[in-house]
Chain A
Amino acid sequence: AQSVSQHNHHVILSEAASLELGCNYSYGGTVNLFWYVQYPGQHLQLLLKYFSGDPLVKGIKGFEAEFIKSKFSFNLRKPSVQWSDTAEYFCAVNPPGDDKIIFGKGTRLHILP
């Protein structure tokens, strides 16, 4: 079945460590890709998105993601995490020719102060 996969379910890092969260999708064709974040007690908000163009996308709060078409991947990165980055991160895909957005299972990130 077509899906969105996030490999890391729970990640624990110390402040200033580098972060990379994996995301793979199985849809063929042209897709739109997103990373959403849910801080504790808050609603989901968009971190960044990729529609076309430069495969390296920069988002808010120092996050970036790289779209690698050959690998069907859209990994999220941040060079140096902060305690305030503690949250749940969701990769999402808008499949080709479809109006809906499908989410991965999420990665719970915990940053140690």
Chain B
Amino acid sequence: GAVVSQHPSWVICKSGTSVKIECRSLDFQATTMFWYRQFPKQSLMLMATSNEGSKATYEQGVEKDKFLINHASLTLSTLTVTSAHPEDSSFYICSARDYLAGVYTGELFFGEGSRLTVL
């Protein structure tokens, strides 16, 4: 199956600093990637839809100036948490669809997730 890789797997930073998380599709091209946030013992909350070559679409309640998303190529999307605070500590997961030969299979492939801890 298609592989999505995230980096870093975990990161600890000081309050007020910015952190960048990368999401790569390793063996397929992803015109659309999705960023989710998972709180402990809770579901995945969709933060934004990342579109290659255009602005991301943010879900209601997600601060686009705090969570900057860039999808500069068909295999890479980045999430930058700017001026991070302890409440931003969470597990961030990216996912992408693999359009096999132009056919939408519907399946989302997920990265391993990135655990952010803000001190």
Contact = CB atoms under 8 A, between A and B. Distances in A.
Interface of A: 32, 34, 36, 42-46, 49, 51, 90, 94, 99-106, 108
9 contacts: A43-B110, A43-B112, A49-B107, A90-B44, A100-B34, A100-B46, A100-B49, A102-B46, A106-B43
Q: How large is the interface on B (under 10, 10 to 19, 20 to 34, 35 or more residues)?
A: 10 to 19
Contacts of B111: 43
B118 interface: no
B81 interface: no
B44 A49 contact: no
B32 A94 contact: no
Contacts of A44: 44, 93, 95, 108, 110
B106 interface: yes
B34 A101 contact: yes
Interface string B82-119: 00000000000101000000000011101111000000
A101 B108 contact: yes
Given A43-B111, A100-B34, A101-B34, A51 B106 contact: yes
B54 interface: no
Given A44-B93, A99-B49, A104 B106 contact: no
A32 B106 contact: yes
Contacts of B44: 44, 90, 103
Nearest to B110: A44
A100 B97 CA distance: 10
A34 B108 CA distance: 10
Contacts of A45: 110
Interface string B20-43: 000000000000101010000111
A82 to B, nearest CB: 22
Contacts of B107: 34, 46, 49
B99 to A, nearest CB: 12
Residue in B34, B44, B110 whose Cβ sees the most chain A Cβ within 10 Å: B44
Contacts of A103: 36, 43-44, 46
Nearest to A49: B106
